[in-house]
Structure 1
Amino acid sequence: MVTDVQALISLCDDELVSRGYVAVLYGRIKAEWEKLISWMKIHNFTDFSESVGFQYCDETLGTHISNERLNHDEKIRLRAIRMLTSYQKDGDFEFRTPRIERLFLGNTGSNMHLYLSYLRNVQHFSESTIRNKEQYLYEFFCYLEKHSLTLENLSVEIMEDFFRTLDYSLASRHNCGSTLRIYFRYAHDHGITEKDNSVFILKDNYKHHCKIPTTYEEDEIRRIISSVERSSATGKRDYLILLLAAEYGWRSSDIVNFRFSQIDWDKNVIRFNQHKTDIPVEYPLLSSVGNAIIDYLKHGRPLTDSEEIIVSAESAKKGRPLSTPTVHSIVTKYMKKAHIKNWKSKKHDPHSLRHSLATNMLKKNISMPIISTVLGHQNTESTKIYLKVDTEKLRQCPLSIPAMYSKHYKVGR
C-alpha cells in the first residue's frame, strides 16, 4: 500500500490523464490535493491513510460522505480526497461517493461484519454481490438496534414488521428475504444463534408474480450501437460489448468471460458454457461481430496475457478483465448518448438488450424453441415471459364476447 502522499497523488494523477478528465475538473482536483498536502504538514502527518483523509474531510467539510448540504465546490473536494483513499485501498477510484456509511457495531454488528468477510474471503463472492447483501444486512441491523432486539428475539411477526417498515418493492423484499434467510442459516450453523431464524421469513411468491421485461425497438438498438465513436480504443471495445449484448443476447457475465478459446475461426462459430447456468451454447460468428473483434484486437486492446478478450483500458486495471458493473455502465452510457426515450425510467442494462433481442425475434414470427436456443434456456418455459410483451399478437388472442340474454343485465346499464 502506497502511504507517501506525493507518490499516491502521482499515481492518481496518471489515472486522471488516462481517463481523459477535462482540463477544468482535472485542475480543480489537483488543487484540492495540494490543499491536503498543506493540511498534512500543519498537522505533522507523514503518511497518508483513509483515516487521515477522512479526518481532513471532517474538519474542512464536516463529513467524509456525500450529502445534500454540500455545494458543488465541496463535493469536488470530497471526491478528490476519496479518490486517494479508494485508490490506495483498491487500486481504483470508487464508482461514486457514498451517501451513507454502514457501521456494524456491537456483538450483532460484529457477527454480520464477519459474515461479509466470510463471503468475500471464503466463498469468493463478487464485490457487487457483497455490497448488495451488505445493504440488506445493514437495514436489518438498524431495525434491530432501533427496537432493542437481538437475533434471539425474532419471530414471524417481527420479520413481517421489518419488511413493512422498509416498504420494500416485491423484488427488494424477495432479495432481502433471501439474504437474511441465508445469513440466519449461517448464524445457526456457526453457533451464533441457538435456533434457525430462517423459518420466520415467509415465502413471498415472487417467482409467480407477473413480470414484464423491459425492451427496446430495433431502431432504438441500432441508434445505441451507432452512437459509439469507434475511432478510439475504448470506443472499439464498447462497440464490441454492445454487439455481443444486442446481437447474441449475452449476459454481462458471459461478455466479461468471453475468451479466445471460445472462437472457432475455421468454422465461424462461438461455443461456451454459459456462466450463469453452465448450459453449453453455440452461436454463428456474425461478420459484424467478427470484424468488431478483429478491429478491437488490432487497434484497441491493450497488451496483456489475459485469456479474456475484452479488458480494461484504464491505467490502474489496464489489461485486466472487466467487471459486470462496468458493462452495465457502458450500456447506460450509450443509451443516454443515443437519446433513447424514457431510458431512465426503464431498465437500461445489458439484460434489457437481451430481452429486446428475444422480443424482436418473436415479432418476426421466430418460434419459441429457436428463441430458447439463442438465449440458452433449458426449456421454453423460461422464454414464455416474452409472450407478454408481444402486444400485437396478444390482440389477436381475445375471443369475442357473445350476446347475453339475462334479466340481470340490460342494455345501457
Structure 2
Amino acid sequence: MPAVSKSAKIPSAWKTDELKAMLSVIDRNSPIGKRDYAMILLACVLGLRIGDIKNLRFQNFNWEDKKLSLIQHKTHKPLTLPIPDAVGWAVIDYIKNGRPQYYESDQVFLKHMPPFDPIGNENHMQQQLVRYMRKAGIDQRTKKHSGFHSLRHSAGSMLLEMETPLPIITDILGHSDSDVTAVYLKTDLLKLAECVLSPEEFCHG
C-alpha cells in the first residue's frame, strides 16, 4: 500500500454528470469549439497535463495503432497511451475541420486569432473552462480548482472508481511512482467510508 501524506491536498475532481454537462454545451460546429472539446477530452479521459496537450504535435499521434506517444514536459519521461475512439475522432475533427491552415507549425492546437500561433505557456485555458461551466450551470464556487488540472484529477478519480489498479493509474497519468498517485485515494469517498470503524467496533476493537 503506497504511503499517502496526511498533508497531501485532496485533488479537485469533477463528477461524471458535471463533465457530461460541460461537454454538451460546447459548440462543436465552431472551430474554437472543436479545439476546446478535443483538448478537454484529452485532459479528462487520458489525464494529460495542459502543458503536454498544448505541445502535442502531429507526429505524437499514431493513428494506425491508435496510440499517443510523447515526452512529458514536467517529468521528461516518455508516455504512450491508447487513443479511445471518442478522443481520436474529436482530435481528427479539429484537425480537418477546425484548425487554422497554419503550415509553419506542426503543433496540433493553435490560437484562433491571427497570426494563429501555438497556444503560449502563459495560457492555461482556464477562461475557456470557466465559460463552459457557466454555460452548463455548474457553480464554479463548488470547485476548488476550475482549471485543466482538475480535469486530469477527474481522470484519475474515475479510473479509481472503475477499480483500476493503482500502478496502472500511475502509468496512465505519467506519475513518477505510486506514492504520487495515491493521493487520489483521498477522493474516493466510498472507499474511505469502508475504512471507517463504527462506534461499536472502535470501542471493542
TM-score, length-scaled by structure 1: 0.45
Aligned in 2, Cα 1:255/1:389: closer, same or farther, shift over 3 Å? same
Question: How many angstroms apart in 1 are the aligned matches of 2:140 and 2:84?
Answer: 30
**5 Å matches for 1:187-336?**
209-304=7-102, 305-315=104-114, 317-318=115-116, 320-324=117-121, 325-336=123-134
Whole-Å separation in 2 of the counterparts to 1:208 and 1:217: 24
Q: CA deviation at 1:215?
A: 0.9
Q: Is the 8 A contact 2:12 2:153 kept in 1?
A: yes
Q: Distance in 2 between matches of 1:345 and 1:283?
A: 28
Residues 342/236 of structure 1: CA separation in 2 closer, same or farther (3 Å cut)? closer
What residue is the counterpart of 1:402 in the other structure?
A: 203
Question: Residues 343 and 280 (structure 1 numbering): CA distance in 2 closer, same or farther, change over 3 Å?
Answer: farther
Q: State the partner residue of 1:139.
A: none
For 1:11-410, list aligned pairs within 5 A.
Answer: 209-304=7-102, 305-315=104-114, 317-318=115-116, 320-324=117-121, 325-343=123-141, 345-399=143-197, 400-403=201-204
Give the distance between the partners of 1:375 and 1:219, measured in 2 at CA.
Answer: 22
> Partner of 1:199 in structure 2?
none
Distance in 2, matches of 1:272 and 1:345, equals 30
Per the TM alignment, residue 401 of structure 1 is displaced from its structure 2 partner at its CA by 1.0
Task: Please report how far the alpha carbon of residue 290 of structure 1 lies from its aligned counterpart in structure 2 after TM superposition.
Answer: 1.6
Q: How many residues align?
A: 196
Give CA-to-partner distance per residue, 1:86-127, whole Å, 9 cap, x none: xxxxxxxxxxxxxxxxxxxxxxxxxxxxxxxxxxxxxxxxxx
Contact 2:133-2:140 within 8 A present in 1 as well: no
User: Does structure 2 conserve the Cα–Cα contact (< 8 Å) formed by 1:336 and 1:343?
Assistant: no
Kept in 1, the 8 Å contact 2:68–2:80? The answer is: yes
Q: Which of 342-351 and 383-392 deviates more?
A: 342-351
Say what the alpha-carbon RMSD is for the aligned residues: 1.8
Larger RCO of the pair (alpha carbons < 8 Å, separation 6+) = 2
Secondary structure of 1:281's match?
strand
CA deviations 1:361-400 (Å, max 9, x no partner) are 1122111011111100121000011111111111111332
Q: CA 1:343–1:283 in 2, change beyond 3 Å: closer, same or farther? A: farther
Instruction: Summarize the Cα distance change of 1:377–1:389 in structure 2 as closer, same or farther, 3 Å threshold.
Output: same
Larger helix percent: 1
What is the aligned partner in structure 2 of residue 47 from structure 1?
none
Structure ID, larger Rg:
1
- Aligned partners of 2:49 and 2:152 also within 8 Å: yes
In structure 2, how many angstroms separate the alpha carbons of the residues matched to 1:342 and 1:294?
30
Residues 213 and 355, structure 1, Cα contact 8 Å, conserved in 2: yes
CA distance in 2, matches of 1:264, 1:235: 24
Q: Provide the C-alpha distance between the structure 2 equivalents of 1:233 and 1:326, rounded to a whole number of angstroms.
A: 19
What is the CA deviation profile of residues 10-65 of structure 1, one whole-angstrom value per residue up to 9, with x for unaligned ones?
Answer: xxxxxxxxxxxxxxxxxxxxxxxxxxxxxxxxxxxxxxxxxxxxxxxxxxxxxxxx
1 CA distance for matches of 2:143 and 2:161?
24
Structure 1 residue 210: Cα displacement: 3.3
Instruction: Give unmatched runs, 5+ long, in structure 2.
Output: none
2 CA distance for matches of 1:342 and 1:228? Answer: 17
Gaps of 5+ in 1: 1-206, 405-413
The secondary structure found in structure 2 opposite 1:388 is helix
Counterpart amino acid of 2:183? I
Does the Cα contact within 8 Å between 1:241 and 1:327 map onto a contact in 2?
Answer: no
Q: Please state whether the residue corresponding to 1:275 is helix, strand or coil.
A: coil
Amino acid at match of 2:33: G
Cα offset for 1:218?
0.9
Distance 1:254 1:358 in 2: 17
CA distance in 1, matches of 2:204, 2:69: 57
